[in-house]
Amino acid sequence: MLHVISLVAVAVVVVLYAVTGVLTIATGRVVPWQRERLLRPRLWGSGALVFGAGMALARFGGSVRDLTLANVVFACSLLMLVCGGVMQYAGQRAGRVGA
């Protein structure tokens, strides 16, 4: 049961991240609490998509039975998480602190 709950929770977060990323890339608009902080919203949206895909891949990697393949999938997901986070950070204005 806990496996199903974590699967649903991760799926909700990944879908929200993906929707936010796609809307930001397509329209250039961001969620209200990020408007003041973002200098390059499309870069931030791309980072959100990469980060969300990394979360989905990490969740999928937990169900892989082959140990070597699981390690490769986890390493790729970790790389995607780091790259997505760096892209989101690069899209923000320097010196801005969240309110």
Domain boundaries, the chain: 2-90
Tokens coding 88: 């989101």
What is the structure's pLDDT at 63?
A: 79
| Through-space distance between the first and last CA atoms of the chain, rounded to whole angstroms | 38
What is the structure's pLDDT at 61?
A: 83
Q: Taking Cα atoms as reference points, which of 87, 80, 40 lies closest to residue 58?
A: 80
The mean pLDDT value of the chain amounts to 87
pLDDT < 50 regions, the chain: none
What is the structure's pLDDT at 32?
A: 84
Q: Taking Cα atoms as reference points, which of 51, 58, 53 lies closest to residue 82?
A: 51
What is the structure's pLDDT at 24?
A: 92
What is the structure's pLDDT at 96?
A: 57
Instruction: Name the DSSP class of 65.
Output: -
Tokens coding 76: 């790729």
